[in-house]
Structure 1
Amino acid sequence: MAATRRAARRLELVDTTTGEVVERKQRVPHAFDGKGYTLEGHGAEVPNFSLNLSGTEWDVLDWMKQHGGCANPVRLEPSEVAPLLCSTPNTVKAAVARLLKLNLMLRIGGPRSGTYQLNPRRFWEGSGEAHVKACTRMDPPAVAPDAKALATALKAAQKATDTARDAAEAADEAEELAPDSKLAEKTRATAAATHASAILAVETAVNLGAQLPVQLRRFLQEAAK
């Protein structure tokens, strides 16, 4: 005997006190304004905080987000945007140029179009399906550090290793002057903390693709022993 197909049931919200049918609220894909989720890429790619972005560069990224640039091409005129960012047109223009070089922003259209979109590999607003289609259509390049980011990372790594060596020498001196004292214990703990910070700074420079000078390579070799 063939199974009978049940008719689809229509469910309603009912006020149990009055018996009144309450209209169901329309669901939206985003909890705030229905535009979908906002993604900021992370993982193997270069993190934004390691790129030594200027204040204006951060402001331009934020302006693009606020004007739909996470999922759509947006026209950005430096002369119009600069007053909103408390900046100058030339500073905004330079910020856009660096963000394009870093691949955080992509130019849409010709070189004089003035239309941009945030890299969907790093920023996105919308559904997952639309995200996949956008990445396939645009074939966005990976975010890549420039010379400024690499130089800053190397400078930070050098400073951190110098601090770590000074702290290690201070710990050795304290141990010689007052073995097993609180001072020796405190300086040794400081040395351990600065050493860990130095390793992190050097590894960050390596992950960005910086070419380490000899002294930094030796530091990593010593730390690995």
Structure 2
Amino acid sequence: MSAATHSHHGGFDPDSLGMPPVYTLNLSASQRSVLEWLTSHGAVFDPITADVEEIAHDCGTSTSTAYEALARLETLHLVDHPDPGSYRVNPRFFFASNPEIRRLVGEAMEAPEITPDARAEGPRKVGNVDARRRRTIKAVPDQE
């Protein structure tokens, strides 16, 4: 293990989630643009259905360039293409671009488990104000 890889007491190393840094992959402008488009449309969290022509149009590029960009992103495993028309951004890309969240994940993996005590096991009391508030919640009419 190199000095650069600082493992937390031999446990989970959050930096393993972000490797290699995206800037080392030499992505073209269209590849970055397509990756950003997929990310902004939620493809980090779930596979999304996307039309390559729509991606190309939104990215201001040709359909063939969008296809080439997707092909390279798939080769790099930055994007997964589980089904026809379906794309998923590798969650490691999210961690690579969000080091503070990556660090938080590492800390969460190392932190002690939250353990309920006797009070937590008991019945939950609902305060009077809460009970009253719950009874009087009304639907807010749609604002035009």
Q: TM-score scaled by structure 2? A: 0.52
Asked if the contact 1:42–1:122 (Cα under 8 Å) also holds between the matched residues in 2, the reply is: no
1:26-48, Cα deviation, whole Å (9 max, x unpaired): xxxxxxxxxxxxxxx85572111
- Check if 1:93 corresponds to 2:64: no
C-alpha displacement of 1:103: 0.4
Pick the aligned partner of 1:117 from 55, 63, 88.
88
Which of 59, 69, 74 is matched with 2:43 structurally? 69
Task: Give me the whole-angstrom Cα distance separating, in 2, the residues matched to 1:42 and 1:69.
Answer: 22
1-structure distance, mates of 2:49, 2:94: 17
**In the TM superposition, what whole-angstrom CA distance separates every residue of 1:181-211 from its partner, at most 9, and x where no partner exists?**
xxxxxxxxxxxxxxxxxxxxxxxxxxxxxxx
CA distance in 2, matches of 1:98, 1:120: 17
Number of aligned residue pairs: 86
The answer to whether the 8 A contact 2:22-2:93 is kept is no
Deviation, 1:122, is 2.5
Give the alignment of 1:65-214 within 5 angstroms. Answer: 65-109=39-83, 113-123=84-94
Question: Structure 2, unaligned stretches of length 5 or more?
Answer: 1-13, 99-104, 110-144
Alignment RMSD: 2.8
Q: Distance in 1 between matches of 2:64 and 2:92?
A: 28
Identity %: 31
Matches of 1:122 and 1:66 in 2, distance apart? 13
- 4+ residue runs of structure 1 moved beyond 3 angstroms? 41-44
Corresponding residue of 1:14? none
Q: Does 1:52 align with 2:23?
A: no
Measured after TM superposition, the shift of residue 89 of structure 1 is 0.3
Between 1 and 2, higher relative CO (CA 8 Å, sep ≥ 6) is seen in 2
